[in-house]
């Protein structure tokens, strides 16, 4: 029994011939090649698990809870008394309290400096907008 190869469909007499590159490959431009024929990208469907205000609040609450636990451990481990002197004030206080007071003071100073810079930049933007 002999098998015959499948027949190729006859070329359409009205269709133009397919362009061929020098290496013999199909040179027909694709949609990716031509910017005019390129379709705009479809927006991705909204992720149902995306971040929301509620999820952000829960993450913030978890971070604060972890920091509070670490703070309690820090205070519990640093209860020895230390001598502190500052601008004529002298006294003894637990090491944790002295360190926490120094950190809070530093944060307040940084917040004040940052706030003043933000106010300065806002004024500059308002002046240039006039």
pLDDT digits (tens, 9 = 90+) for 22-32: 666 666 655 55
108 in any annotated domain: yes
What gap in Å lies between CA 123 and CA 106, rounded to an integer?
26
pLDDT digits (tens, 9 = 90+) for 29-86: 555 555 555 666 665 566 666 667 777 888 888 998 998 898 888 888 888 898 988 8
74 in any annotated domain: yes
3 in any annotated domain: no
Predicted pLDDT at 73? 87
More confident residue, 127 or 28: 127
90 in any annotated domain: yes
Predicted pLDDT at 3? 65
Predicted pLDDT at 110? 94
Mean per-residue pLDDT for 84-96? 87
Predicted pLDDT at 60? 86
Does the structure show a pLDDT above 60 at 130? yes
Total domain count for the chain?
1
Return phi, psi of residue 93, to 5°.
-150, 155
1 in any annotated domain: no
27 in any annotated domain: no
Encode burial over 13-50: b for 16+ CB neighbours within 10 A, e otherwise: eeeeeeeeeeeeeeeeeeeeeeeeeeeeeeeeeeeeee
| Domain containing residue 114 | 53-129
91 in any annotated domain: yes
């Amino acid at each position: 029994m002999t098998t015959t190869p499948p027949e190729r469909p006859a070329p359409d007499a009205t269709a133009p011939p397919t362009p061929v590159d020098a290496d013999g490959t199909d040179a027909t431009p694709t949609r990716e090649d031509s910017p005019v024929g390129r379709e705009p990208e479809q927006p991705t469907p909204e992720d149902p698990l995306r971040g929301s205000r509620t999820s952000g609040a829960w993450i913030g609450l978890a971070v604060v809870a972890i920091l509070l636990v670490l703070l309690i451990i820090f205070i519990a481990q640093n209860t020895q008394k230390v001598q502190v002197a500052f601008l004529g004030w002298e006294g003894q206080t637990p090491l944790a309290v002295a360190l926490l007071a120094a950190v809070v003071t530093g944060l307040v100073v940084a917040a004040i400096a940052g706030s003043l810079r933000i106010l300065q930049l806002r004024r500059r933007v308002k002046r240039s907008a006039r």
